Structure 1
């Protein structure tokens, strides 16, 4: 009802709005509660989870067709601070679409993924590319031998528990050459079933490693960050 006959005191709720409240029913949006008793996923679940994802579709994230994915790959390659690297490591290569671009910048490149299905498809895509090797490996419990001047962790950090992610940074720190590059790229929204999100992954990397950020790009959906490993003097 109007507060008074004076201008400005008219009723704010019109007849069309009030009609909703004269119905004999109401409408609610309902989201089922998550099972609080189920633990978040971790690297122990990665092989089974992502084998299932890749068995469901040959390109489950539409890497080839999605403009978002193609643009993100182009930006990822564009932020590399050096044109070429001697030894690269890609953590979580999926079917190898980003691997293909990274191979153009690496003398040798090792790409790993927890999913055997994804690894087989990546090997098919990259067959005949010199210096490229694709292996199934569940990190951080397993870790490749050797050292690397480029490590790429793209869209995979939140598929680890917080403790496992700390172990991953320790593994990387121990195997990155002095002055090497760590490139991170992650989706910035919550990941259903997993403990972490992209912004948290990057914050924990900076906190654990203490490396200098030399490049940072972020937008609503993803964040790209380049961290520079300490040179020999800094390590000493």
Structure 2
């Protein structure tokens, strides 16, 4: 890890959203739309009681997740993104959108599905490992954890998508007593998905 790099904070993301309401083209990109379709296909259960989405941005994926959730907590570190997501999801009363900067901030409840999509590579290793352990602790036995990340390296990001996923895979399969079972991998030219089960 580059010692000069640090986890990208809320100020970094707010600056992006000031310049562009949709900095990653989540709302208009065919790549993103196709990735969202694949994300929903890899999630095993039709409906989950309590879902936690880390990094909701403007709520484009949250709109799909809410249809598979009895309760959905979607969070983002950017106050601008959170305001936009709240507007998008305002009619869905089972959805809560909050400003939260993980891993420092983390909800106290437990979940049967946790989604970390396009977030992990913004963190340095120390913060990602802390988040990983908090996510595992917050996942109910039998619950699912899904990671989705862009894999090509980006110079300003502390980690790559592949590195993020390998940190979670290291918690599965190596020991029978490990907390996670690795259920499925889907690898595309520019992103990968890995699905886990909490033992």
Mapping of residues 184-195 of structure 1, within 5 Å: 184-195=147-158
Counterpart residue number, 2:175:
none
CA drift at 1:193: 1.5
Within-5 A mapping of 1:34-53: 39-42=4-7, 45-53=8-16
Conserved in 2, the CA contact under 8 Å of 1:189 and 1:221? yes
TM-score (norm 2): 0.93
Partner Cα distance (1:87, 1:49) in 2: 30
Aligned pair partner of 2:122 in 159, 164, 185: 159
Q: Distance in 1 between matches of 2:158 and 2:57?
A: 20
Contact 1:169–1:208 (8 Å) recurs in 2: no
Match of 2:183 in 1: 214
Would you say 1:228 and 2:193 are equivalent positions?
no
Any unmatched runs of 5+ in structure 2?
Answer: 173-177
Q: 2:164 aligns with which of 196, 201, 226?
A: 201
Query: What is the RMSD computed on CA atoms of the aligned residues?
Result: 1.3
CA distance in structure 1 between the aligned counterparts of 2:114 and 2:47, rounded to whole angstroms: 13
- Name the CA distance, whole Å, in 2 between partners of 1:132 and 1:191: 32
* TM-score normalised per structure 1: 0.79
Structure 2: how far apart are the matches of 1:128 and 1:219? 34
Q: How many residues align?
A: 192
Deviation, 1:97, is 0.5
Are 2:30 and 1:61 equivalent residues in the alignment?
A: no
Which has more radius of gyration? 1
Q: What whole-Å deviation, never above 9, does each CA across 1:66-121 have from its counterpart, x for those lacking one?
A: 10000000100110011110000000111110111000000000001010010000
Structure 1 consecutive aligned stretches of length 4 or more whose deviation exceeds 3 Å: none
Quick check: 1:142 aligned with 2:105? yes
CA contact (8 A) 1:147 1:177 kept: yes
